[in-house]
């Protein structure tokens, strides 16, 4: 297989797997909720006992909703294409920063080289003038 069609296939396969797991989570949630209801309502001997199943089902429903938001909303926007564009943006920023630093280093090097050249010329002129006086 070519690289791009293979990537498309892998992305589609991953997406289908995510949706399949979400559906499985939903089915387990429904069956588990029914089982908790039955066990709390019909298997408890004391009718005045605390009903715990609504709390467990509520927390589980919240987790299922988070799972659904992650699969159906977040992953559909923040997919491989989004990751690539974000990485490309960061690489561009890093390249620009490196270029700026390189220009600064070159300017500092040129300034330093010019300064040292001027100083060496001045010291040579001073030594020549001292030699002429003697």
Taking the C-alpha atoms of residue 71 and residue 15, their distance in angstroms, rounded to an integer, is 8
pLDDT of the residue at 66: 96
Closest CA to 76 of 4, 1, 5, 22: 22
The Cα–Cα gap between 105 and 112 comes to: 10
Task: For residue 98, give every residue at least 6 positions away whose Cβ sits within 8 Å of its Cβ, in sequence order, or none.
Answer: none
For the chain, what percent of residues have pLDDT higher than 90? 40
Q: pLDDT value at position 60?
A: 95
Q: Which of 1-5, 9-13, 42-46 has the highest mean pLDDT?
A: 9-13
Q: Residue 77 pLDDT > 90, yes or no?
A: no
pLDDT digits (tens, 9 = 90+) for 85-113: 889 999 999 999 999 999 988 888 887 77
Give whole-number Cα distances, 88 to 5, 7, 51, 81, in Å. 21, 18, 54, 11
Summarize pLDDT for 31-40 with one digit per residue, the tens: 999 999 998 8
- Give CA torsion, residues 11, 15, 17, 21, to 10 deg: 150
Question: Burial letters for 50-65: b for 16+ Cβ neighbours within 10 Å, e otherwise?
Answer: eeebeeebeebeeebe
The separation between the first and the last C-alpha atoms of the chain, rounded to the nearest angstrom, is: 87
Tokens of 32: 């588990």
More confident site: 60 or 127: 60
In whole angstroms, give the CA distance from residue 24 to residue 75. 18
Q: Is 70 exceeded by the pLDDT of residue 119?
A: no
Structure tokens at 103: 């220009």
């Amino acid at each position: 297989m070519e690289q791009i069609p293979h990537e498309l296939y892998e992305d589609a396969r991953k997406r289908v797997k995510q949706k399949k797991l979400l559906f499985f989570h939903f089915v387990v949630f429904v069956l588990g909720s029914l089982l908790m209801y039955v066990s709390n309502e019909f298997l408890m001997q004391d009718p005045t006992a605390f009903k715990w199943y609504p709390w467990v089902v509520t927390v589980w429903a919240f987790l299922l909703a988070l799972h659904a938001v992650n699969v159906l909303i977040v992953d559909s926007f923040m997919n491989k294409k989004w990751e690539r564009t974000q990485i490309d943006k960061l690489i561009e920023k890093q390249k620009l920063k490196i270029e700026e630093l390189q220009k600064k280093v070159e300017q500092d090097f040129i300034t330093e080289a010019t300064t040292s050249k001027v100083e060496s010329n001045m010291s040579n002129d001073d030594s020549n003038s001292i030699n002429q006086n003697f």
